[in-house]
Amino acid sequence: MKARYKHFLIIIVAVIVVYLNIFRNDFVWDDKFFVLEREEIKDLGNIPAFFTQDVEGLYRPVRTVFYAVSYALWKENPIGYHVNAILIHSIVSILVYLIILKISGKIKLSFLGGLLFALHPVHTEAVTFITANFDLLGIVFYLLGFFYYLKASENGKYYTVSILFFLLGVFANEFGVTLPLVLVCYDLVYKNLRKNNLVQKLKQYIPYFIITALFLFIRFRIIGVFARVESYQANYFGKLFTMPQVIMRYIQILFVPFNLSVDHSVGIASFAEVIFFSVIVALVVYFGFMLRKKSKLASFGVFWFFITLLPVMNIVPIQRMMAEVYLYLPSVGFCVFLAWLIGKVPKMKFRNAKICYILILIVVLGSYSVISINRNTIWKDEFSLWNNAVKTNPSSSKVHSNLALELDERGFVDEAIEEYKESIRLNPNRAKTYFNLGISYGKKGMVDEAVDAYGASLNLEPDDAEAYNNRGILYAKKNVSYLAINDFKNALSLDPEFAQAYVNLGNVYNEIKDYDDAIKAYLAAVSINPNIAEAYYNLGVVYNKNGMNEEAKLAFDKAYGLNPNLK
């Protein structure tokens, strides 16, 4: 028992040491939406509503509750969210240790497995990226559900506890739906299932499968969430058949965690590649099956890896074809297997086997720690993140576009334009890239180039009201009034509540001395948003031109009341 607590302490200290430098990191990427901009998480009174709606194509209501509670504690201080991450990763690492110990009864092997999991560099995205570490709550519930299922074989009262944790787990992270399959796999590997106990086992599985079915029914039928990115449906089978190649890349970065990246580009595999990688994956699965004769633990680790990967195999379309964060739960199986494999070394019959074992531990755990600490610094801010992504994956259009956006915001507009051009060269079909390029050109005063960029964006996404509005502003600068008016009207037909487009339309009408239409446009703008000082001020100008002095005075008073610094 004392050894166990000592191991707990070492694992916790290891996590803290490796992840201590994340406290310098700011909000990055999706953090801005999921933490800073979501108004619903800023009021705990909204919690009941979380169970009746999705967020960006995700139905994880318990996770959203965690967001709300965390925001109540930490507000917009990133340090607090990093405290959450270290705490949760420590808990998960200890649970990995306890599960291996429960299954194997070998305390040294369990300690090694827990340490490997705590330090593995592939987990840095899940831990260091604030948005991703909220998903780890579901993993905690998942592992608790499995751990108490194991304990239920000794004391039946833990069976209900296991089911309750599983229930929380699936509503925190849909990855939880694989737990029933893991339970069946465990019993097939470790239990001698015969007719006399098979019926009893099937009865034990029923609540888990009922909860899974209930969750899927609520998600797909009631909430209406199928896939996070509908566009993935266009190449559904191509992406699905590419997954064996992705699995092999996952295995590669687990064994050799180099060239890690926030973005791993995966092209659609050819028929020959599908066959090749499918055969390799089948051989790995067969290896896991045959391995049970030598080690049930190692065999179970292999099957855990494949089972827990199922939710990200594009059976249900996912947003990212490949992501390191997807490996957080499957890597439990890998760490089990690797701990067993390393643990075989000192038992080998060759001279200095124990010294070799110690050296392997030093190299593996030491390199894991160094790589993890270095990866944490890459998540420091947006520029660091995307600059590294461009270096590790220069063929990705998305990372060039994201780096360009950050360069633009930092004032490096020329560099941003070059990155946008590279992004377009790699993928000329992303409307948002052209849109952002148009913004950068506009900042440089390159009006014709900006107009062309917005035109390209609208060719790809003709329902973008903001692109029409922005292009209309440029046409107005070029004094092509009829084209500007046409673009503003197109923007308003797409978004009738677009108040700024009404202001811009009014400005053009004012310039061409169509005062009646200018007044109508400004009045429409303030009817939508009564806090636009510019609209009231320009309305006052038009009223003055028309000799409507009383109306002008009221408009100017309103404008200066909203913004005393107007000129």
Mapped onto helix, strand or coil, the DSSP state of residue 58 is strand
Cα distances from 231 to residues 235, 236, 319, 320, 543, in angstroms, run: 8, 9, 9, 12, 49
Mapped onto helix, strand or coil, the DSSP state of residue 94 is helix
Query: What pLDDT sits at residue 156?
Result: 82
Mapped onto helix, strand or coil, the DSSP state of residue 55 is strand
Cα of first residue to Cα of last residue in the chain, in angstroms, is 75
The secondary structure of 139-192 as a DSSP string is: HHHHHHHHHHHHHHTT-TTHHHHHHHHHHHHHTT-GGGGGHHHHHHHHHHHHS-
Does position 100 have pLDDT exceeding 70, yes or no? yes
User: Is-contact 64 70, C-beta < 8 A?
Assistant: no
User: Is-contact 420 444, C-beta < 8 A?
Assistant: no
128 or 222, which is more confident: 128
User: Is-contact 308 332, C-beta < 8 A?
Assistant: yes
Does position 229 have pLDDT exceeding 60, yes or no? no
Average pLDDT rounded to a whole number, residues 457-473: 95
Confidence grade of residue 124 (pLDDT, cut at 50, 70, 90): very high
| The domains spanning 396-462 and 464-567 adopt the same CATH topology | yes
pLDDT in tens, 69-85: 999 999 999 999 999 99
Residues 6+ apart with CB under 8 A from 309: 247, 250, 326, 330
Assigned superfamily of 464-567: Tetratricopeptide repeat domain (1.25.40.10)
User: Is-contact 115 153, C-beta < 8 A?
Assistant: no
Average pLDDT rounded to a whole number, residues 49-61: 82
* Stretch (H or E) spanning 448: helix 447-460
Query: What pLDDT sits at residue 196?
Result: 59
C-alpha angle 155-159-164 in degrees, rounded to nearest 5: 145
Average pLDDT rounded to a whole number, residues 117-141: 95
φ/ψ (deg, to 5) at 112: -65, -45
Beta bridge partners of 58: 55
Mapped onto helix, strand or coil, the DSSP state of residue 451 is helix
User: Is-contact 11 114, C-beta < 8 A?
Assistant: yes
161 or 345, which is more confident: 161
Does position 231 have pLDDT exceeding 60, yes or no? no
Does position 57 have pLDDT exceeding 80, yes or no? no
- Nearest-angstrom CA–CA distance, 369 and 362: 10
Does position 19 have pLDDT exceeding 70, yes or no? yes
Query: What pLDDT sits at residue 197?
Result: 67
pLDDT in tens, 290-312: 888 889 999 999 999 999 998 88
User: Is-contact 321 239, C-beta < 8 A?
Assistant: yes
Does position 150 have pLDDT exceeding 90, yes or no? yes
Query: What pLDDT sits at residue 204?
Result: 87
pLDDT in tens, 379-421: 999 999 999 999 999 998 999 999 999 999 999 999 999 999 9
pLDDT in tens, 202-216: 888 899 999 999 988
Burial 174-185 (b: 16+ CB within 10 A, else e): bbbbbbbbbbbb
Supply the DSSP symbol for 30: T
* Stretch (H or E) spanning 505: helix 499-511
Q: Which two tokens stand for residue 293?
A: 């004769």
- Nearest-angstrom CA–CA distance, 243 and 230: 18
The architecture that CATH gives domain 396-462 is Alpha Horseshoe (1.25)
Average pLDDT rounded to a whole number, residues 429-446: 94
Does position 194 have pLDDT exceeding 80, yes or no? no
- Nearest-angstrom CA–CA distance, 168 and 126: 20
Burial class (CB in 10 A: 0-12, 13-18, 19+), 52: exposed
Query: What pLDDT sits at residue 232?
Result: 38
Q: What percent of the chain lies above the pLDDT cut of 90?
A: 63
Give domain limits for the chain.
2-378, 396-462, 464-567
pLDDT in tens, 521-542: 999 999 999 998 998 898 888 9
Average pLDDT, the chain: 89
Q: What percent of the chain lies above the pLDDT cut of 70?
A: 95
Instruction: For residue 42, give the amino acid letter.
Output: K
Average pLDDT rounded to a whole number, residues 151-164: 90
CA quadruple 223, 320, 185, 143: dihedral sign: negative
- Nearest-angstrom CA–CA distance, 163 and 210: 11
Average pLDDT rounded to a whole number, residues 498-523: 92
Does position 154 have pLDDT exceeding 70, yes or no? yes
Does position 494 have pLDDT exceeding 80, yes or no? yes
Instruction: For the beta carbon of residue 353, count every other beta carbon within 10 angstroms.
Output: 14
- Nearest-angstrom CA–CA distance, 145 and 211: 13
User: Is-contact 348 126, C-beta < 8 A?
Assistant: no
Confidence grade of residue 234 (pLDDT, cut at 50, 70, 90): very low
Average pLDDT rounded to a whole number, residues 224-228: 63
Query: What pLDDT sits at residue 562?
Result: 85
φ/ψ (deg, to 5) at 120: -60, 130
